Amino acid sequence: MSAAPTLDPGTHEPPDYQQVQSSAEFDELRRAHRSFAFPLTAAFIVWYLVYVVLSSYAGGFMATKVVGHLNVAFVLGLAQFVTTFLIAWWYSRHAARRLDPRAEAIKSRLEAGA
C-alpha cells in the first residue's frame, strides 16, 4: 500500500499512528528529512571542528597572509559565517520543496479523518 490510511469521516478515534508510520508516504517524508539533515549536520560539525583544530594546531598555516592584514584564520572564520547562512537557506529551500508538501498531505488527511 502506498498512501497513508484515511480514517472514516465522522469518527473521533485517534489515527492509527503505527499504520501511518509504516506507510510508504510517511517513509518518503522521513527519508527526505533524514537523508538531508543528518549528513549535512555531520558535515557542518566536522567543518567547524576542523576549523577549531586548525586554529589550535596549525598556527603557521592560519597565519598566512591573504590580503593586507587578512590571514587564512580570518578568511576561514568568515567562511564559517558564510556557510552557516548558506546551509540555513539551503535547508529551508529543501524543507519548503520536499518536506512541507508531504507533511501537509499526511496531516490534512489525518485531521480530516479524525
Contact positions vs another protein (CB under 8 A): 15, 17-18, 20-21, 26, 29-30, 33-34, 37, 40-41, 44-45, 48-49, 51-57, 59, 62-63, 67-71, 73-74, 77, 80-81, 84-85, 87-89, 91-92, 95, 99-100, 103-104, 106-107, 110-111, 114
The residue assigned the cell 502506498 is 2
Q: Give me the least distance between CB of 24 and another protein, in Å please.
A: 14
In this structure, are residues 58 and 48 in contact, taking their beta carbons and an 8 Å threshold?
no
Nearer of residues 24 and 84 to another protein, judged by Cβ: 84
Q: Give me the least distance between CB of 74 and another protein, in Å please.
A: 7
Query: CA 110 to CA 106: how far, in whole Å?
Result: 6
Q: Give me the least distance between CB of 63 and another protein, in Å please.
A: 4
87 C-beta neighbours (distance < 10 Å), count: 15
The grid coordinates listed for 79 are: 567562511
99 C-beta neighbours (distance < 10 Å), count: 17
